[in-house]
Structure 1
Amino acid sequence: MTTISTDADVVTLVNVFTVAPEKQQALIKVLTTATEEAMSHQAGYVSANIHASTDGTRVVNYSQWASADAFHAMTADPECREHMSAALALAECDPHLYTVESVHHI
């Protein structure tokens, strides 16, 4: 389960994909399949959430990992790399790891 908290012991991947609007749904399908078939079976996987921009030009993967090392191990896994190649055939991406520094609620 995704927990957004400053005291959650996870690292967060925010990966912004830039995609042509007509390819947005195909990219979402590729990322969903990748998560279900490969990423979620990796050591250190916590959660993943796929967001689609309302204008069709972006898809954001917000995922959490137990550590940066766990995330980097996943990126080296051949099955995961194959899935990511399929995503990169549809869109450009800009992945970065983050920590939660502040959370605000009403």
Structure 2
Amino acid sequence: MPTTIEPQAELTTLVNVFTVAPERQRELVDTLTVATEKLIRHREGFISANIHASTDGTRVLNYAQWSDPAAHQAMLDDPECLDHLAAAAALATFDPHVYTVDSVHHA
């Protein structure tokens, strides 16, 4: 299922902002991409993940959607997933929060 951004979607949305040294940004993006492709996207309840790199090189944002909070938590509790997430944490600080979509606006 593609990323769905609409108030009616009953999904759990994770926004995780990583702060990284510019010279390590690409390594962090690659680490998150590999972990998502090889492991995380195969977990039950996974909907989508979008990894964004800031143009100044100091941030990476992961916008991920899960079917519900329990599915997201199950991934966080999985030791195999934690190993991959630890690799990302070794490269940057991070600030994850779960959100709901309140409004969407288009041109």
TM-score range, shorter chain: over 0.9
Deviation at residue 9 of structure 1 after TM alignment = 1.8
- The SS at the match of 2:84 is helix
Q: Distance in 1 between matches of 2:96 and 2:81?
A: 15
- The CA RMSD over aligned residues, in Å, is 0.5
Structure 1 residue aligned with 2:46: 45
Q: How many residues align?
A: 106
Whichever residue aligns with residue 95 of structure 2, its letter is D
Q: Distance in 1 between matches of 2:31 and 2:24?
A: 11
- The SS at the match of 1:14 is strand
Q: Distance in 2 between matches of 1:43 and 1:52?
A: 26
Structure 2 residue aligned with 1:75: 76
Q: Does 1:105 align with 2:91?
A: no
Spell out structure 1 runs of 4+ moving beyond 3 A. Answer: none
Q: Which string of whole-angstrom CA distances, capped at 9 and with x for unpartnered residues, describes residues 38-91 of structure 1?
A: 110111000000000000000000000000111011000111100000001100
- Superposition TM-score, scaled by structure 1 size: 0.98
Structure 2 residue aligned with 1:57: 58
Whichever residue aligns with residue 22 of structure 2, its letter is P
Matched-pair identity in %: 60
- The SS at the match of 2:29 is helix
Q: Distance in 2 between matches of 1:67 and 1:3?
A: 14
- The SS at the match of 2:50 is strand
